[in-house]
Amino acid sequence: MTSRRRAPVSEESAMALHDNHSPAAAPVIELRNVGKIFRTADHTDRAVLEGVDLTLREGEIVAMLGKSGSGKSTLLRIMAGLVGADRGEVRFRGSRLAGTAEGIAMVFQSFALFPWLTVQQNVELGLEAQGVARGERARRAEAAIDMIGLSGFNGALPRELSGGMRQRVGIARALVTEPDLLLMDEAFSALDVLTGETLRDEMLELWASGRANIKSILIVSHNIEEAVMMADRIVILSSDPGRVRAEVRVPFPRPRNRDDAQVRALIDEVYTLMTSPVTLGPRVPAMAAAQQIGYRLPDADISQMEAILDLLHESPFFGRADLPHLANEAGLTDDELLPACEALQLLGLATIERGDITATPLGRAYYETEPPERKVLFGKQLLMHVALAAHIRHELQTSVDGEVGEEAVLRELEAYLKPDEAKRVLTIAIGWGRYGEVYAYSYNSGMLTLPAPEIAVEDDRRPHREETDEADKADKEDKEDKEDSAGS
């Protein structure tokens, strides 16, 4: 099967499709020139978000997509009033937002339930914080639990529930406060595929029925198909710093058929926007940033990268694939597929353009080689294209003892990235480097070293102190033996 050909989708044309609702619809929340910075280990300010303008209006569901490091979760927490913006302003219902506000509720990816409280008690928490009387709390909580399909489980503890049921409790806890704005931070990503789809469909039914009395929903997601199936509008953030790079209108009525040709075409458009390169300046491509040690490496699993490259060279693709089609064939989520494809492009094994991935000649050579040779080729490309890996290798080769501490590299990265992001990037670089045998790593000691064969070569060139001492001792004993023989 050949890839479907699509006309290029520019960010300008995508932005022109941004409004799916009448201008008369009242704004629920408005972000104006919002920015957020953090201070690195060397006391340098680094922008997480910059110049974000976004409005959510009554009667719309908006999905937010972006790669790791685009600031999606940070932006969501700013909108919830959990984190303050360093620049710009946020207005909720026309008033400046300063801290948490009644009328905004949030559903988390991790369920965030108190394990010692029952379902009923967990759902009542938000009402208790608002000072709602006990009897009213109980009545409204029971109604929310029933609405979300958990009646009969009011007295159950979280440990008695499946993952899907726990997330229903989290949703009921948000809905019970009757919010104008519901924020959902990857609320379905921790669930298995079937449970996630069921819960998404039930949320859309609640929205359509009006029983939940929500005015607007913002969904942060890694799943492009989920965004197209649920949202009226899709906002795509760029990374480092996070900015709105595109907005796409979804003009189809719900419920939507994922196999409909127009729906599939729109999914392709969003894939194209998600994978098209972002320029860092007038002529500097985004991939050039990988030549800086602070580049946010994609969270890509090597086995998935190789599986995608193998699949790409086989029927029906034969070296070129439409990304949505490839995702279906590989059985991977967007959260797995896109980082792996980005990593293949970063290493020069594939190129991505207009939502299609194409193997390079080097990618073809990689596919045709056996695992030992693959590791050699992987290591070579890693040193050529990933500055952090090359930096670690250089430090090891110039180190007196051939070792570098993980913490030392981490401190260097923290000059570019937040501590948790620096740790994530270093973990990826260590994993890739170990696979390519560029360097070795000991989890117990936290030390990076040259691979064992290279240490042996270094040992031949530069004897250890113990070996030198043994040689000196042998020379001394030999000299004494000769002197004794001469004396006799």
- Per-residue pLDDT tens over the stretch 210-239: 888 899 999 998 889 999 999 999 999 988
Provide the whole-model pTM.
Answer: 0.76
Residue 474: Cβ-neighbour burial (10 angstroms; 0-12, 13-18, 19+): exposed
pLDDT score recorded for residue 42: 66
Backbone angles phi, psi at 453, to 5 degrees: -60, -35
pLDDT score recorded for residue 6: 42
CA distance linking residue 353 with residue 482, whole number of Å:
78
- As a whole number, mean pLDDT of residues 93-119 equals 88
Summary mean pLDDT of the chain = 84
- Asked if the bond preceding 419 is cis, omega within 30° of 0, the reply is no
Least confident of 10-24, 71-85, 365-379, 389-403: 10-24
| In the block, residue with structure tokens 């000059």 | 415
State whether residue 447 is helix, strand or coil.
strand
Q: How far is CA 94 from the centre of its chain?
A: 32
% of residues, the chain, pLDDT over 70? 84
CA distance linking residue 281 with residue 267, whole number of Å:
28
pLDDT confidence of 478, banded at 50, 70, 90?
A: low
Query: Higher model confidence: residue 46 or residue 151?
Result: 151
pLDDT score recorded for residue 142: 93
CB-CB contact of 142 with 64 (8 Å): no
CA distance linking residue 163 with residue 176, whole number of Å:
20
Residue closest to 327 by CA, chosen among 242, 236, 258 = 258
H-only helix segments in 154-296? 163-175, 193-209, 224-230, 261-275
- As a whole number, mean pLDDT of residues 237-252 equals 90
CB-CB contact of 34 with 28 (8 Å): no
Residue closest to 119 by CA, chosen among 158, 148, 174, 164 = 158
Q: How many CA atoms lie within 13 A of 366 on its CB side?
A: 29
Residue 149: Cβ-neighbour burial (10 angstroms; 0-12, 13-18, 19+): middle
- As a whole number, mean pLDDT of residues 69-74 equals 85
pLDDT score recorded for residue 278: 58
Q: Which domains does the chain have, with CATH numbers?
A: 11-275 (3.40.50.300), 298-372 (1.10.10.10)
pLDDT score recorded for residue 481: 55
Model pLDDT for residues 163-209, shown as the tens digit of each residue: 889 989 999 999 999 999 999 988 887 777 788 888 889 899 999 98
pLDDT confidence of 20, banded at 50, 70, 90?
A: very low
pLDDT confidence of 357, banded at 50, 70, 90?
A: very high
pLDDT score recorded for residue 9: 47
Model pLDDT for residues 404-426, shown as the tens digit of each residue: 999 999 999 988 888 888 999 99
CA distance linking residue 327 with residue 135, whole number of Å:
50
State whether residue 127 is helix, strand or coil.
helix
- As a whole number, mean pLDDT of residues 373-398 equals 94
Model pLDDT for residues 108-136, shown as the tens digit of each residue: 878 788 999 999 999 998 888 888 899 99
CB-CB contact of 171 with 150 (8 Å): no
- Using N-to-C axis directions, what is the helix angle for 163-175 and 134-147, rounded to 10°? 130
pLDDT score recorded for residue 187: 83
Model pLDDT for residues 296-325, shown as the tens digit of each residue: 899 999 999 999 999 999 999 999 999 988
The H or E element that residue 63 is part of is strand 60-66
Per 3-state DSSP, the chain is made up of helix, strand and coil in percentages (nearest 5) of 45, 20, 35
Q: Would you list the DSSP string of 349-418?
A: SEEEETTEEEE-HHHHHHHHS-HHHHHHHHHHHHHHH-HHHHHHHHHHHHSSSSEEEHHHHHHHHTTTS-
pLDDT score recorded for residue 355: 85
pLDDT score recorded for residue 290: 53
pLDDT score recorded for residue 128: 86
pLDDT score recorded for residue 23: 54
462 has pLDDT over 70: no
CA distance linking residue 408 with residue 418, whole number of Å:
15
Residue closest to 276 by CA, chosen among 239, 331, 229, 233 = 239
Residue closest to 166 by CA, chosen among 105, 107, 227 = 107
CA distance linking residue 251 with residue 365, whole number of Å:
43
CB-CB contact of 73 with 177 (8 Å): no
Backbone angles phi, psi at 219, to 5 degrees: -115, 120
Residue 106: Cβ-neighbour burial (10 angstroms; 0-12, 13-18, 19+): buried
Q: Would you list the DSSP string of 353-368?
A: ETTEEEE-HHHHHHHH
